[in-house]
Copies of this chain bind each other. A is one copy, B any other.
Amino acid sequence: MGEPDEKLRPIGRIASELKSLADAPMQGSEGAPDAWLEVDASFADALHGIEVGDELIVITWFDRADRGVLQTRPRSDPRNPMTGVFATRSPDRPNPLGLHPVAVRAIEGNRLRIGPIEAIDGTPVVDIKPVLK
């Protein structure tokens, strides 16, 4: 049962046309494209039951984030006041987890076509959950 530490194991990666942070919108709802979620073969059994049309929450790890940031200006707008990162969706935060509500567009073996999602190409995925109805 469990492990002594809190080490995440990526279960897959995002394959996206968004190649850099400069290309990415701040939220999926702001014009983000669809992308592939490529699940490692060793976790493929955990996809059983996911169907086209399902609504999922994909949890990513923003591996390029700055984990030392505790306050920021929301939406990187200098007119906004300094705000605690727990009151924002900034990727810079102590544990840079990203929550992405997406729809499943297609399924090809271990790959899910999902979107819209603002995560850039290569972003590690650490969990997938159904949206609770």
- Which residues of A are interface residues toward B (Cβ below 8 A)? 1-3, 5-11, 27, 29, 43, 45-50, 54, 56-57, 59, 61, 63-67, 70-71, 81-89, 93-95, 97, 99, 124, 126-130, 132
Contact = CB atoms under 8 A, between A and B. Distances in A.
Contact of A87 (B5, B11, B49, B70): B49
A88 B130 CA distance: 6
Contact of A129 (B10, B63, B94, B99): B99
* A-B pairs, 6 with minimum CB distance: A49-B87, A48-B84, A6-B8, A86-B128, A49-B83, A45-B70
A7 B9 contact: no
Contacts of A65: 1-2
Which of A6, A67, A130 gathers most chain B CB within 10 Å? Answer: A6
Given A1-B66, A6-B124, 10 more contacts: A29-B132, A46-B94, A54-B87, A57-B99, A59-B95, A86-B129, A88-B130, A93-B127, A95-B127, A97-B97
B130 A6 contact: no
Contacts of A70: 43, 45-46
Contacts of A81: 49
B7 A94 contact: no
Contacts of A67: 2-3, 9
